Amino acid sequence: MPKIRVLVVDDSVVIRRMVSDVLSGEPDMEVAGAAADGRIALQKIEQVNPDIITLDVEMPVMDGLETLKELRKTRRRLPVIMFSTLTERGASATMDALALGAVDYVTKPANVGSAAAALEKIRAELIPKIRAHVPQVAGFAAPPATMALSQMPRAPFSQAASRPATSRVEVVAIGTSTGGPNALGELLPLLPENFPVPIVIVQHMPPIFTKFLADRLSSKSQIHVTEAENRQELLVGNAYIAPGDFHMAVERNQDGVRIRTQQEHPENSCRPAVDVLFRSVAEVYQGDTLAVIMTGMGQDGLRGCERIREAGGQILAQDAATSVVWGMPGFVVNAGLADVVLPLRLLAGEIVRRVGVGRLPEINSRPFHVLKGRGQR
């Protein structure tokens, strides 16, 4: 049975060795080759024909971004996972790499205490992502939630699954992970500047990265996007992204609805977790919630969607064809919780339509396609 062939590209001998040791310990993977900079890597790609590449962001001679640009001229479909540092420079470069076509990223271990802990961190973060992006190699079957919709067992959708959008929406809650930064980059700029409710978002990302993501999204959107802060008031026409390594929830008091961040134990191995946010939104807004579950590995968001459905809220899911990994939305769809399953390009229009129900017509006063050409605030 063929193994997943990985090309490891990093200028650090220590990191190359650690990644190689981790890969060698997996029965379905092998190191196809290693390179210390991008120029060598581009030459080796033709020699070893890897299934996937791990690519360091910062390297001499030719860095990760330059390498990725050159690679995409000839190998547009070869998956690339970036290896980044937990720094502002690393976060910024990683955002650029994702925009250039990298499928995912892993942060290098730092201050983890020991070599064994560093190896375990790499194993825990890297191996599932490699398998998610190269599922057909080595005969490993993709989990049910990553199959195409037509291949999945048909779960009986509840009558709510085809329910028309008749209830008034007071908040939009979005959950996403793998592939999320680019998906949010397509979705949020299509929302109009007079969007009449707040948006709360969990994107699985580490600290520093979420701030850069929020700033980039805000720069090209008509609504304001920010990294959330504890006790921050939710305002209409604003989007709030959970800060890395903090759960985000909402709570209502005499002053209105505010954000609460905390560092309780991870859920679904995630902090922030979509389930934490979705549970709180269901409690505060009840049936006035519109949840959107988008591309991502795992099943974070499933239990939260159950709470939103029980409260009478609405749920939209991204389809398999436009998801980088159809894990999170796939679990929700397979559980019969989604009102509608849509490709990414249609999600914004459906959000606007449902949020507009029961409101004055201003939000829908302009043809939606007009917004597609607008990127700056």
Q: Alpha carbon of 291 to those of 64, 78, 119, 136: distances in Å?
A: 36, 33, 37, 31
pLDDT at 137: 55
Radius of gyration of the chain (CA): 21
Q: Please give the domain boundaries of the chain with CATH numbers for all domains.
A: 4-141 (3.40.50.2300), 150-373 (3.40.50.180)
Contact 250, 260 (CB under 8 A): yes
pLDDT at 164: 57
My answer on whether omega of the bond before 192 falls inside 30° of 0, hence cis, is no
Letter string b/e over residues 35-64, b meaning 16 or more CB atoms within 10 A of that residue's CB: bbbbbbbbebbeeeebbbbbbbbbbeebbb
Question: Which candidate in 84, 167, 177, 221 is catalytic?
Answer: 177
Return the pLDDT at 145: 40
Task: Decide: helix, strand or coil at residue 184.
Answer: helix
Using CA atoms of 116, 117, 122, 123 in order, give the dihedral in degrees to the nearest 10.
70
Q: What is the pLDDT of residues 44-71, one digit of tens each?
A: 999 999 999 999 999 999 999 999 999 9
Instruction: Give me the catalytic one of 10, 51, 133, 204.
Output: 204
Query: Is 145 strand, coil or helix?
Result: helix
Distance CA 376, CA 220 (A): 5
CA angle in degrees (0–180, nearest 5) for 305-125-335: 20
Return the axis-axis angle of helices 344-356 and 180-187, rounded to nearest 10°.
50
In angstroms, the CA 333 to CA 179 distance is 18
What residue type is 311 in one-letter code? A
pLDDT score at 369: 39
pLDDT of residue 143: 44
**Spatial separation of the C-alpha atoms in residues 234 and 232, rounded to whole Å:** 7
pLDDT at 361: 67
Q: What are phi and psi of 287, to 5 degrees?
A: -75, 0
Give, as one character, the DSSP assignment of residue 54: E
Is the pTM higher than 0.85? The answer reads yes
Q: Out of 56, 104, 288, 300, which one is annotated catalytic?
A: 300
Contact 54, 126 (CB under 8 A): yes
- What pLDDT shows up at residue 264? 96
pLDDT in tens, 104-150: 999 998 877 788 999 999 999 999 999 999 976 544 444 444 433 33
Predicted local distance difference test score (pLDDT) of residue 110: 81
Residues 6+ apart with CB under 8 A from 370: none
In Å, how far from its chain's centre is CA 64? 21
Is 204 an active-site residue? yes
- Ranges of the chain whose pLDDT falls below 50: 138-162, 365-377
Instruction: Label residue 325 exposed, middle or buried (CB < 10 Å: 0-12, 13-18, 19+).
Output: buried
- Return the closest-CA partner of residue 88 out of 265, 169, 261, 208: 208
Q: Please report the pLDDT score of residue 35 as a whole number.
A: 97
Spatial neighbors of 287 by CB under 8 A, at least 6 apart, are 167, 311, 312, 313
369 catalytic residue (yes or no): no
Residue type for position 294: M
Identify whether 177 is a catalytic site residue.
yes
Strand order across the 52-56 sheet:
29-35, 4-9, 52-56, 80-84, 104-107
Taking only the tens place, the pLDDT of each residue in 290-310 is 999 999 999 999 999 999 999
